[in-house]
Structure 1
Amino acid sequence: MRQNKLKKLLKSNNTVACGWLHIPNSWSAEVMANAGWDCVAVDMQHGLQSIETAIQMMQGISTTETVPLARANWNSPGEIMRLLDGGAYGIICPMINNKEECESFVGACKYPPLGYRSFGPTRARVYAGMDYGDYANDEILTFAMVETVQALENINEICSVEGLYGIFIGSGDLKLSIKATTKNDTTGFFDQAIDTVLKECQQRNLVAGIWCATIEDAKKMIEKGFKFIALKSDSMMLTEYAKEQTVALKNIFTN
């Protein structure tokens, strides 16, 4: 089976950079994968792609050395298994709030006896090798997303689930949940929350990941000890750069 290079990097205590794909297009996915990310995640939750488009995007990613990941739309075993059968080498699962939900997620990613994933790696065997079924349980990464106050309260039990590889903090939803719960400014509470998650991950030898909106935020999270950093998304980068270039061009017109 093709080695999961992302797992190898993380095992060596490297910090990895993850691109985030919202645009439903194999060409833009291929361009992003060629940009030097360690991995790119096809976002089925807030991205605009269908399962068919997601698989085409993973085909584009596969022309590079970048590792293909996917964020599932929800903790839905059927979709999770299809993304894995389509060639995703890791799943990021949203809104994991307790141990039972985490067990269901991890179980969907693992073949028996470690889980209940159904066998039928249609494209995965083409991408990874015909012995995929023998080694997939070792190579596929599982990241549970912590995005709510409830998840924070259950973080110890969530992190205790066998087969879980890491925790990925959904910054936007976590801030929203904290604000809805406390009715106060989220900054201090959010900082406390991510420190709690990071400490739990470090104690249990799990990878701690987080989504960042800016390079400045990413730098702070790396300094804290996060090892898996997702930055912006392809659509955010395109929007920002397009605006920057448009302003620069129109400034020439007026000078």
Structure 2
Amino acid sequence: MSLATETTIVKNNLQVAAATGKICTALGIKICRGVEIVHIAKAAGYESLFIDLEHTCMTVSDASQLCITAISSGVTPFVRVPHQCGSGFIQRVLDVGAMGVIVPHIHGVDDAKKVISVSKYPPVGTRSLSAGFPQFEYASPSPDVLMAEMNQHGSQCFIMIETRDALEAVDDIAALPGCDVLLVGSQDLATEIGTLPDWDDPRFWNALEAVGNAAKKHGKLMGIAGLYHRPDILKRVINELGAKWIVGGHDVGLLSAGGRANSDLLKSLQDN
């Protein structure tokens, strides 16, 4: 007797959290290529991963192993691709297990449309059809089920709002079908609008507010990265602007901070 093939896509924790009014937290991964970091993230309470291929030397293969492990562990993996990496690179990242692609340095509606086109299957985009995806735990759904499930749950499109051009066009970008998340890159955006390093400059909050308003207006999600050092501002972004995807610290920063604290503690134990 043969068993029926499971064709349900794995759970997307960001979507589940947002549907219940909760936030979804993410651990940034920049240097830890071993799959152990996924289990550490889960044990620490993170619901998702921000796997960074832009500012690291990690490969698509590294990202794939992290994604596959995350999916099996119930942690949702999202991958940031390098700037100007090309449509083929974006599709490869999605094909090997990312539940969403994060694209930096968007400069307007045309850039966003290109990302959506390669990230989504028809009728939303033009992504090439394949089979054997980690998002389905390698089961083989029918093409229509695969395309519909991937478009809705397994290939979320994160448009980074971190340039002045993208900020000025944020309402039009948010209106695009297939744009799922407006993700603020805090460091780059603050640099672009001339407020870095003054995080309390009203212009920075106004920029965040513009992104939040666009997301609400068009029924999209807002995310924020690079602001974990200012929990006071993050609290406002979450509670006043409704941000749902919150990227916390990266592995390298957390290891450095934890190591420094532990080293200082040990040294403080010796009497002078």
TM-score of the two chains, using structure 1 as the length reference: 0.90
- 25-34 or 110-119: which moved more? 25-34
Aligned partner of 1:38 in structure 2 is: 47
Runs of at least 5 residues in structure 1 that lack an aligned partner in the other structure: none
Asked whether the equivalents of residues 24 and 54 of structure 1 are also in contact (C-alpha less than 8 Å), the reply is: no
Partner of 2:253: 236
The counterpart of 2:159, out of the listed 144, 151, 158, is 144
- Output the amino acid matched with 2:247: A
Question: How many pairs were matched up?
Answer: 253
Give 2:15's match in structure 1, choosing from 7, 10, 30.
7
Aligned to 1:223: 239
Cα offset, 1:213, TM superposition? 2.5
Question: Would you say the 8 A contact 2:30–2:251 is kept in 1?
Answer: yes
Partner of 1:199: 213
Stretches of structure 2 that go unaligned for 5 or more consecutive residues are: 1-7
CA 116–67 in structure 1, closer or farther in 2 if over 3 Å, else same: same
Give the aligned partner of residue 117 of structure 1. 127
Q: In the TM superposition, what is the alpha-carbon distance from 1:104 to its structure 2 partner? A: 0.6
Letter in 1 for 2:265: A
* 2-structure distance, mates of 1:243, 1:184: 24
Is the contact made by 1:147 and 1:171 (CA closer than 8 Å) also made in structure 2? yes
Letter of the 2:81 counterpart: A
1:120 counterpart letter in structure 2: S
Q: Please say if 1:21 is aligned against 2:29.
A: yes
2:93 equivalent in structure 1: 83
Other-structure match for 2:224? 210
1:48: Cα distance to partner?
3.2
Contact map agreement 2:158 2:182 (CA 8 A) in 1: yes
Question: Where do residues 35-74 of structure 1 align in structure 2 (5 Å cutoff)?
Answer: 35-74=44-83
Deviates more, 1:209-218 or 1:244-253: 209-218
Amino acid at match of 1:226: A
Q: Which amino acid in the other structure matches residue 206 of structure 1? A: K
Partner of 2:3: none
Instruction: Return the alpha-carbon distance in structure 1 between the equivalents of residues 130 and 197 of structure 2.
Output: 48
- Aligned residue identity for 1:46: H
Q: Deviations over 1:186-233 (max 9, x none)?
A: 622111111111111111111111112324443232232222111121
- Tell me if 1:155 matches 2:164: no
Quote the residue 1:190 is aligned against.
Answer: 204
- For 1:40 and 1:72, the matched residues in 2 are separated by 14
Q: Percent identity?
A: 24
Aligned residues of 1:72 and 1:93 also touching (Cα < 8 A): yes
Is 1:107 aligned with 2:122?
no
The answer (yes or no) to whether the contact 1:24–1:53 under 8 Å persists in 2 is no
Q: Distance in 1 between matches of 2:128 and 2:271?
A: 62
Greater helix proportion: 1
Quickly say closer, same or farther: Cα 1:33–1:47, change in 2 above 3 A.
Answer: farther
Cα distance change, pair 190–124 in 1 and its aligned pair in 2 (3 A)? same
| Secondary structure, aligned partner of 1:106 | helix
Shift of 1:21: 0.9
Aligned-residue RMSD, C-alpha: 2.2
Q: Cα deviations across residues 100-145 of structure 1 (Å, max 9, x unaligned)?
A: 1111111111112221111224443653632234521111311100
